[in-house]
A and B are shown apart, each in its own frame.
Chain A
Amino acid sequence: MSEPTGVIHDIGYQRYTGPRLGRRHVFGGLWLHGLRTIFGLGRSAKAKIFPWLVIGIVTLVAAGITAIRSQTGEVVMTYAQFADAMSWLVIFFAAVAAPELVSRDLRSGVLPLYFSRPLPRGDYALAKLLALVAGLWLLLGGPQLVMFLGAAFATGDGLAGVRDEAFDLLPALLYAGLWAVVFASVGLLVASLTGKRAFAAGGVVAVFLMTTPIVGVLSILPSRTVNELAMLASPSTLVQGVGLFTLGDRLAPAGAADQMIGGFGPVYALGAVLLVAACVALLLLRYRKVAAR
């Protein structure tokens, strides 16, 4: 049998025969990329300025509180109160991170590339949302861990003291998780509406700032019921309401919860769940529309 003569070149085209990673890996990859984007990892120094500025301030405050506590023994802030006190910085961090996650993709028009992968529309939005939740939780949880380490090493009661601290820390970490979930879902929804990062950042802050004074006004109206329900009006006070209901004296002096939210604790918990659910549903709807375009 003679050699085939019509062949010009065999340039070695091959099929890919390795393992094909599925939807779960696409989701995981997108999530990790999102998390790195939030903290500016793998990006230019300019992209790191704002996230690390916030992280620096938050950590500095935590270190200061720890130092005061170890020197004087006075507890300036409990772990849960720390999350409350940092709420403005969390808002700013969300305003920095949320537009980076979604607005850039909208603006540069790369969404069709994402959606040409085996990646359902919802997965993209959920991966970004979970990345932002993780980022915000790390922002609050990291400094709380710093405070815990400081308190644990300075405790005078040996292991029992460390255990008490840990039992204080764990609910506070869950509370920080609640902050992260609520702020991430609201922030990402607002940011996904516009491709301009500047406007997205302004919008996120406007939503959080505008609603806070409404709470202030509602809580002085001449109706006890309205006063006790006032904190539902703003995402940040809504979270505090849930915290007052579930954490009790870890967050505020005894009796404060009764005065501020009365018997409406379950309403606050329900409100938080509904808010998150509504934001996630709207976000998924938004991405169904973006993907169809």
Chain B
Amino acid sequence: MSTVTWITARGLFGRRRFLMLLPLPAVLVALAVLCTSLGVDPREWGPPVLVGLGLAVVLPVVALVVGTGVLGAEIDDGTVVHVLTKPLPRWQIVLPKLAVATGVSAVTVAVPIVVAGVLADSVRLGVALAAASALGALAYSALFLALSLVTRRPVLLGLVYVLIWEGLLGRFVSGTRVLSVQQWVITLADRLAPTDLLTAAVSVPVAAVLTTLVAVGLTILAIDRLRSFSVAGETS
């Protein structure tokens, strides 16, 4: 545990706004339990809850809030200078922050989605969904961490990606699905536990390779951007 890890974790959990993350997973579990207790067919409630809420909303939104929070918040209020002036290689700043962001969002999403997956089908589906969403959390966190270094408005750009690219275009233009983290997560989960609840839109190798590429490539980009980072005031 490096000091950067510890500072980042404390920055995330030390504020009241961390509680903002709790309702999302809670709603996911509540809906799954409600549907099971009323005896609705899992094939009917599975897709809207697991994919529509879990993988399409909870995972990206949690990863967005956490991923831009670990570095973006420090850049925003200027305290990033205190970390940057320490004699640390840049990768020792980016990697711990990425690890914390991935860990926090993976746990926040995995716990409710395991419960929902077990209720919907089997333990295998639950574990598969959790593993896939952990990989998705890694890709999303790398994306949003890199965004908070290349632009001053990371949350809005992240929202453009989540809402417009994955949400709007992903629904109407099937070509954009190849470049959508959400579809990779669905594909990987479907590969790990084949059920008729999930429909994969891309092939497994494509999803695996692209997830790795995004995670590694964007982390390298983030380290590189942090090398030549200039501290500026708040945007108007």
By a beta-carbon cutoff of 8 Å, the part of chain A in contact with chain B is: 43-44, 46-47, 50, 53, 57, 88-89, 91-92, 95-96, 194, 196-199, 201-203, 205-206, 209-210, 212-214, 216-217, 220-222
Is there an interface contact between A89 and B236, defined as CB atoms closer than 8 Å?
no
Q: Chain A contacts of B153 at CB under 8 A?
A: 46, 50
Indicate if the CB atoms of A46 and B163 lie closer than 8 Å. Answer: no
Report the bound CA distance from A89 to B168 in whole Å: 9
Binary per-residue interface labels of chain B (107-129) against chain A in the complex, 1 for a CB within 8 Å, 0 otherwise: 00000000000000000000000
User: What are 19 sample pairs from A and B whose C-beta atoms fall under 8 A apart?
Assistant: A47-B235, A88-B168, A92-B163, A92-B164, A197-B155, A198-B68, A199-B20, A202-B61, A202-B64, A202-B65, A202-B159, A209-B163, A210-B23, A210-B58, A210-B61, A213-B53, A216-B48, A217-B45, A222-B40
When A and B form their complex, which 4 residue pairs have the shortest distance between CB atoms, in order from nearest? Answer: A213-B53, A216-B48, A198-B155, A213-B52
Q: How far is the CA of A39 from the CA of B17 in the complex (A)?
A: 28
The reply to whether B34 and A217 contact each other, CB–CB distance below 8 Å, is yes
In the complex, the answer to whether B24 meets A206 with C-beta atoms within 8 Å is: yes
What is the minimal beta-carbon distance from B133 to any residue of chain A, in angstroms? 16
Complex alpha-carbon distance, A53 and B153, angstroms: 14
Name A's interface SS. helix
**B43 CB to nearest chain A CB (Å):** 10
Question: Could you say which residues of chain B place their CB within 8 Å of the CB of A214?
Answer: 27, 31, 53
Q: How far is the CB of B45 from chain A (nearest CB, A)?
A: 6
* Chain B residue at minimum C-beta to C-beta distance from A107: B234
Count of chain B residues near A, Cβ 8 A: 42
Q: Does B196 touch A at the CB level, under 8 Å?
A: no
Interface string of B22-47 (1 = CB under 8 A from A): 01100100010011001110001100
Number of A-B contacts (CB under 8 A): 103
Given A199-B20, A222-B40, residue A88 in contact with residue B48 (CB < 8 A): no
Q: Are A43 and B24 in contact (CB under 8 A)?
A: no
Q: Is B156 an interface residue (CB 8 A)?
A: yes
Tell whether A222 pairs with B38 under 8 Å between CB atoms, given A89-B164, A213-B53: yes
A47 to B153, CA, bound (A): 10
- Chain A residues lying within 8 Å of B56, measured Cβ to Cβ, are 213
Q: Are B45 and A92 neighbours in the complex by a CB distance under 8 Å? A: no
B167 neighbours in A (Cβ, 8 Å):
88
| In the complex with contacts A88-B163, A213-B49, A221-B40, A205-B61 CB distance below 8 A | yes
Q: Does B76 contact A (CB under 8 A)?
A: yes
Q: Taking the complex as formed, is B57 at the interface, i.e. its CB lies under 8 A from any CB of chain A?
A: yes
Q: From residue B22, how far is it (CB to closest CB) to chain A in Å?
A: 12
B153-185 contacts to A, CB under 8 A, are 153-156, 159-160, 162-164, 167-168
CB distance from A52 to the nearest CB of B (A): 13
> CA separation between A46 and B68, bound complex, in Å?
19
Query: Is B72 an interface position by the 8 A CB rule?
Result: yes
* Contact indicator B235/A205 (Cβ below 8 Å): no
Most A Cβ at <10 Å: residue of B44, B152, B153: B153
Q: Name the A residues within 8 Å of B235 (CB-CB).
A: 44, 46-47
Q: B156 contacts A201, CB within 8 Å?
A: yes
**Do A213 and B57 have beta carbons less than 8 Å apart?**
yes
A residues near B168, Cβ cutoff 8 Å: 88-89
Complex CA–CA separation, A43 to B234 (angstroms): 13
Mark each residue of chain B from 50 to 63: 1 if its CB lies under 8 Å from any CB of chain A, else 0: 00110011100100
- Residues of A contacting B53 in the complex (Cβ-Cβ under 8 angstroms): 210, 213-214, 216-217
For residue A203, which residues in chain B have a CB less than 8 angstroms away from its CB?
20
Residues in A with CB closer than 8 Å to B72 are: 198
CB nearest neighbor in A for B50: A213
- Give Cα A283 to B44, complex, Å: 38
Known: A50-B156, A216-B52, A222-B38. A44 touches B236 (CB 8 A): yes
Chain A residues whose CB sits within 8 angstroms of the CB of B64 once the complex forms: 202
Residues of A within 8 A of B27 (CB): 210, 214
17 more CB-based (< 8 A) A-B contacts, given A92-B159, A198-B68, A210-B58? A43-B236, A44-B235, A50-B156, A92-B163, A92-B164, A95-B156, A96-B156, A199-B20, A213-B31, A213-B48, A213-B57, A214-B27, A216-B48, A216-B52, A217-B45, A220-B44, A222-B40
